[in-house]
């Protein structure tokens, strides 16, 4: 029975890990790139205010609602494109990534719209995997403590397994819990540390649609696929439903969030959490 359950968890653990590594980050479509003519005009223009207005005119044709801290259109001068909402440039991958969360050195890949679901599942199955190993080995650790294990070699194996499983379980459950909090608020790691700015101004809960809808933004509407590493996130990664649009459809939502905002203002984030995001944005 131990082996059956172990291999079932192990299969999902390796499957989600594989998907997190080999699912390529999704880049903005061609319509967000500057045309050759627009690119030449932009680069030849020396006046910053004229360049800014050129980007504003180009962005009018695109579903772009977020801005820089100064209120300008978000433009990547490395990829020569207008950034879609929640898109950021990764200096490690040298490209813009849709709904970028962070660059993860453990999977050597950018975590974003195309693989964030797989990354969350990988964390969940990793926690379950470590917990299962620790609990099944613990009884043998008790026997070792009482001197009931006859083999000398098995003692080392038991100690090593229990130590490694517990060590990774503690670190992974903290990371998984943090990302569960992010999903419940429909935030990325980058948005948690840098409040997104919209055309109306900064709004840290701009993409918060409510608990259930926030989960569906990552895992999809069909609950059958929530535990399986199959792409089911809604949309194309270029545009996302916003809280302001939901409030216009249902004004009752407008009075729902301020209570949570007060809690957020007093929240102390864990020290060192910023190491989760290894990303430099243009």
Residues annotated as catalytic (active site), given as ranges? 104
User: Which of 193, 196, 130 is closest to 163 using CA atoms?
Assistant: 130
Which helix (H) or strand (E) is 192 found in, with range?
helix 189-193
- What would the two tokens of residue 40 be? 């030449």
Would you give the end-to-end CA distance of the chain in angstroms?
53
CA–CA separation, 227 vs 117, rounded Å? 10
Beta bridge partners of 102: 111
Residue with token string 């864990």: 270
DSSP H helices in 71-115: none
Q: Which residues have C-beta within 8 Å of that of residue 208, sequence separation ≥ 6?
A: 185, 186, 187, 214, 243, 257
- For residues 245 and 248, give the distance between their C-alpha atoms in angstroms, rounded to a whole number: 5
Q: Coil, strand or helix: which one is 263?
A: helix
Task: Tell me the sheet residues that pair with 88.
Answer: 97
* Cα 155 to the center of its chain, rounded Å: 40
For 112-269, strand residue ranges (E) read: 197-198, 201-202
Q: At what angle do helices 116-145 and 211-219 cross, to 10 degrees?
A: 100
């Amino acid at each position: 029975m131990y082996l059956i359950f172990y291999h079932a968890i192990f299969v999902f653990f390796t499957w989600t890990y594989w998907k997190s590594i080999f699912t390529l980050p999704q880049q903005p479509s061609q319509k967000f790139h500057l045309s050759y003519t627009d690119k030449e005009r932009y680069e030849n223009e020396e006046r910053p205010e004229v360049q800014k207005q050129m980007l504003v005119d180009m962005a009018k044709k695109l579903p772009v609602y977020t801005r820089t801290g100064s209120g300008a259109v978000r433009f990547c001068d490395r990829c020569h494109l207008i950034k879609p909402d929640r898109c950021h440039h990764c200096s490690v991958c040298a490209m813009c990534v849709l709904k970028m969360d962070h660059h993860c050195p453990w999977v050597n890949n950018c975590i974003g719209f195309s693989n964030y679901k797989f990354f969350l599942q990988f964390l969940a199955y990793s926690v379950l995997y470590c917990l299962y190993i620790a609990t099944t080995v613990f009884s043998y650790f008790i026997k070792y403590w009482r001197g009931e294990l006859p083999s000398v070699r098995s003692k080392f194996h038991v100690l090593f397994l229990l130590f490694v499983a517990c060590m990774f379980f503690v670190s992974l459950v903290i990371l998984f819990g943090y990302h569960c909090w992010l999903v419940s608020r429909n935030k990325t790691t980058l948005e948690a540390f840098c409040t997104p700015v919209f055309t109306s101004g900064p709004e840290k809960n701009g993409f918060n649609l409510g608990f259930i809808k926030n989960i569906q933004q990552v895992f999809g509407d069909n609950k059958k696929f929530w535990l399986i590493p199959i792409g089911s996130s809604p949309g194309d990664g270029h545009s996302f439903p916003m809280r302001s649009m939901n409030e216009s459809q249902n004004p009752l939502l407008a009075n729902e969030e301020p209570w949570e905002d007060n809690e957020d203002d007093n929240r102390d984030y864990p020290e060192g959490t910023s190491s989760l995001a290894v990303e430099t944005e243009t």
